[in-house]
Amino acid sequence: MLTDELMREVRRLQLRTKRRVQGLFAGEYQSAFKGRGIEFAEVREYEPGDDVRAIDWNVTARSGKTFIKRFHEERELTVMLVVDLSRSGAFGSSGREKSRVAVEVAAVLALTASMNNDRVGLLIFAEEVELFLPPRKGRTHVLRLLRELLNFEPRGNGTDVGAALEHMGRLLNRRSLAFVISDFESRPFEKVMKVVSRQHEIVAVEVSDPRERELPSVGLMEVCDAESGERMVVDTSSRRARREYAKLAHEREQERRRLFARAKVDRVPVSTDRPFVADVERYFRMRERRR
């Protein structure tokens, strides 16, 4: 049973994200992803000027008259939101945790898909898949997705992107557009991502925090790996220590970029210290230009 407080939070999230969807990039979403294929519609008699390549020779042979096939654009998508809500998301140095940003990104994408009459589903994972809601349409279904996102408490400590993708690949028969929202601090997943990206279109929404890229100079600081629990003390007043930290962070980011490129997966970077809507909108526009 939902608490009154949770219901109020669902409504607040819905209002915030709905304004973003309506005011910013509903059109960009439709332009970027719609009309990506064609479906057979009907046959009709051939008329002068019709493309002879569209002739349906089987129907023509049976009827004795020339018929052509007609097609229409495939407008409907199946959108899957694959959201990492593991312990490493419970970190944020700019007033918002990474997990909160992940939830809001997922909410915006869910409402955008729903407003465009697309099916949308949800998979929440940490070190294993902890929740799966099959893709469906409708306001009631989207509200349930928002409630699950807001109310979810992960059981596991680690992150396994590969397990989430493998699970999705097994359960979804129809080709889908999957937004994987995570910091991607995970067990190895490249092999699985390459396989699943042949069946489904994957977009990696990479959530980060500025403190993961650069340390402030504040003297001795205890840092903790949110997933392994390992702790260590770093002297952040040391320029050398800060440079080494930034260098390692940059190398990790570049390796993930190369990994996504090898898997033929688009990457959308978002950060806790800036509005994510502009990042997502920029990606939609890039997709539209690329089509």
HEC string of the chain equals CCCHHHHHHHHHHHHHHHHHHHHHHHHHHHHHHCCCEEEEEEEEECCCCCCHHHECHHHHHHHCCCEEEEEEEECCCEEEEEEECCHHHCCCCCCCCHHHHHHHHHHHHHHHHHHCCCEEEEEEECCCEEEEEEEECCHHHHHHHHHHHHHCCCCCCCCCHHHHHHHHHHHCCCCCEEEEEECCCCCCCHHHHHHHHHHCEEEEEEEECHHHHCCCCCCEEEEECCCCCCEEEEECCCHHHHHHHHHHHHHHHHHHHHHHHHCCCEEEEEECCCCHHHHHHHHHHHHHHHC
Average of pLDDT values for 99-103? Answer: 92
Give the chain's domains with CATH numbers. Answer: 4-33+75-290 (3.40.50.410), 38-74 (no CATH)
Tens digits of per-residue pLDDT, 214-260? 888 788 877 666 555 677 787 888 888 889 888 988 999 999 999 99
| pLDDT for the residue numbered 1 | 38
What confidence category does residue 27 fall into, taking pLDDT thresholds of 50, 70 and 90?
Answer: low
Tens digits of per-residue pLDDT, 70-98? 765 556 789 999 999 998 787 777 778 99
| pLDDT for the residue numbered 72 | 53
Tens digits of per-residue pLDDT, 247-279? 988 999 999 999 999 999 999 999 999 988 889
Tens digits of per-residue pLDDT, 114-143? 888 899 999 999 999 999 999 999 889 988
pLDDT > 90 in the chain, percent: 40
**Confidence check: pLDDT of 30 > 80:** no
